[in-house]
Amino acid sequence: MLVNELKNKLDEIGVPQDLYSIMTGGLPNEKLCIVKEERWQVYYSERGKTAGQKFFETEEEACEYFYEKLKKYSTIEEERTVREKVSD
């Protein structure tokens, strides 16, 4: 997956947009961020500081990591899981 596909994939599974920042840079408050500076980076930004910063050699690796970190916040997945449990 590439960064231009990332937002669409997150939208498809219902991840709230206020949880992340794609290619904006800087230190937005309380967001998971993905940027390319010297290398691809994924980090959590809170109160003007970064935490959990990870570096990647490729865009694909960074995007996959970013997606995996955020998919647990999927509102659509939660609804589907609840429906599946009810029908069992």
For residue 84, the Cα-to-chain-centroid distance in whole angstroms is 25
Name which residue leads in pLDDT, 88 or 44: 44
**Token representation of residue 1:** 């997956």
| Dihedral angle sign, alpha carbons of residues 15, 62, 33, 69 | positive
- pTM of the complete model beyond 0.85: no
pLDDT band at 88 (very low <50, low <70, confident <90, very high): low
Task: Give the per-residue pLDDT at 78.
Answer: 54
pLDDT digits (tens, 9 = 90+) for 1-55: 999 999 999 999 999 999 999 998 777 778 999 999 999 999 999 888 889 999 9
Give the bridge partners for 33, in sequence order: 21, 43
What ranges do the domains of the chain cover? 3-87
Would you place residue 82 in the very low, low, confident or very high pLDDT band (cuts 50, 70, 90)?
Answer: very low
Q: Which residues contact 61 (CB under 8 A, 6 or more apart)?
A: 40
